[in-house]
């Protein structure tokens, strides 16, 4: 079945640099996308979301970009800090959040000192 | 943000026994709760959706008789793994969405690590 996919399983960046985590999705009917951060042994933590009627949304140090033409989603983290080390998942939904989420495979972000 | 609490955070049980996991929304009423399962170094997979006062809806491939879900109140959903086997060992995570938060994020619990020996 269709699912949200992953571009890179591990991303290593220098502390202070910007991080870009990518995600591909295949279900063109998806209209709601969320990025989550998961630390080891914990549940997912909401970072930022975006609806399909937008192509960019900014939060504190994070930006999500949505390209519906190529079904691509990205998370940009500015000035990466050690506390940003975690696995990041994109998730998709149809119906604006009414149903359960389909998660991507995750990217492990490693911060180099 | 809203708080969703799971209990227990870790549980070890013997093969063949049943285990109950609780998911509570602490500061809002959850009309819908979702149960996910996550194997090591893998993503979360939706198991079922439960709405308060009605039967849960299970995803394809998830045995409803093995994973019993009860959502009897607006603040509590339970997942019971019946006749657990080692292959049921996993990280189980719930999320909840409720009044005033329709159509937006669901909040996740901290997860329950189940180990069946």
Residue A97 has which token pair?
Answer: 């959040």
Query: A-chain residues within 8 Å CB-CB of B105?
Result: 34, 46, 49, 97
- Which residue spans within A28-82 are E strands per DSSP? 32-38, 45-51, 56-58, 62-67, 72-77
Cross-chain Cβ contact B34/A100 below 8 Å: yes
CA distance to partner chain A, nearest, from residue B18 (Å): 22
How close is the nearest chain A Cα to the Cα of B104, in Å? 5
Q: Do B49 and A102 touch (CB under 8 A)?
A: no
Best mutation target among A43, A89, A101 (most B Cβ atoms within 10 Å) is A43
Ranges of residues in chain A whose predicted pLDDT is under 70: 1-8, 96-98
Side-chain-side CA neighbours of B41 within 13 Å: the count stands at 2
What mean pLDDT, rounded, does chain B reach? 90
Beta strand A107-112 with A10-14 is parallel
Q: What is the pLDDT of residue A1?
A: 33
Cβ contacts of residue A70 below 8 Å, gap of 6+? none
Specify the pairing of strand B90-98 against strand A107-112.
Answer: unpaired
Which pLDDT score is estimated for B48? 95
Out of B44, B104, B113, name the one closest to residue A44 (CB). Answer: B44
- Give the closest of A98, A99, A105 to B43, CB-based: A105
d(CA B117, CA B115): 6
- Residue identified by tokens 């909840």 is B96
CA distance A49 to A90: 9
Q: What is the CA radius of gyration of chain A?
A: 13
Q: Encode pLDDT of B43-65 as tens digits.
A: 999 999 998 888 899 999 999 99
pLDDT at B31: 82
| Segment B62-93, tens digit of pLDDT | 999 999 999 888 899 999 999 999 999 999 99
């Amino acid at each position: 079945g269709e699912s949200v996919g992953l571009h890179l399983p591990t991303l290593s960046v220098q502390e202070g640099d910007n991080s870009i985590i990518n995600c591909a999705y295949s279900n063109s009917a998806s209209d709601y996308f969320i990025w989550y951060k998961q630390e080891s042994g914990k549940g997912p933590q909401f970072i930022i979301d975006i609806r399909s009627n937008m192509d960019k949304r900014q939060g504190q140090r994070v930006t999500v970009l949505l390209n519906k033409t190529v079904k691509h989603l990205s998370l940009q983290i500015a000035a990466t800090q050690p506390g940003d080390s975690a696995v990041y998942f994109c998730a998709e939904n149809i119906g604006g959040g009414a149903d359960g989420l389909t998660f991507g495979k995750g990217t492990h972000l490693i911060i180099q000192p | 943000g809203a708080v969703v609490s799971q209990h227990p955070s870790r549980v070890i049980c013997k093969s063949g026994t049943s285990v109950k996991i609780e998911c509570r929304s602490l500061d809002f009423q959850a009309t819908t709760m979702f149960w996910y399962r996550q194997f090591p170094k893998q993503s979360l997979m939706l198991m079922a959706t439960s709405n308060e006062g009605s039967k849960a809806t299970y995803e394809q491939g998830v045995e409803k008789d093995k994973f019993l879900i009860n959502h009897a109140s607006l603040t509590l959903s339970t997942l019971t793994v019946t006749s657990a086997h080692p292959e049921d060992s996993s990280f189980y995570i719930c999320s909840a969405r409720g009044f005033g938060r329709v159509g937006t994020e669901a909040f996740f619990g901290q997860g329950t690590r189940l180990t069946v020996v």
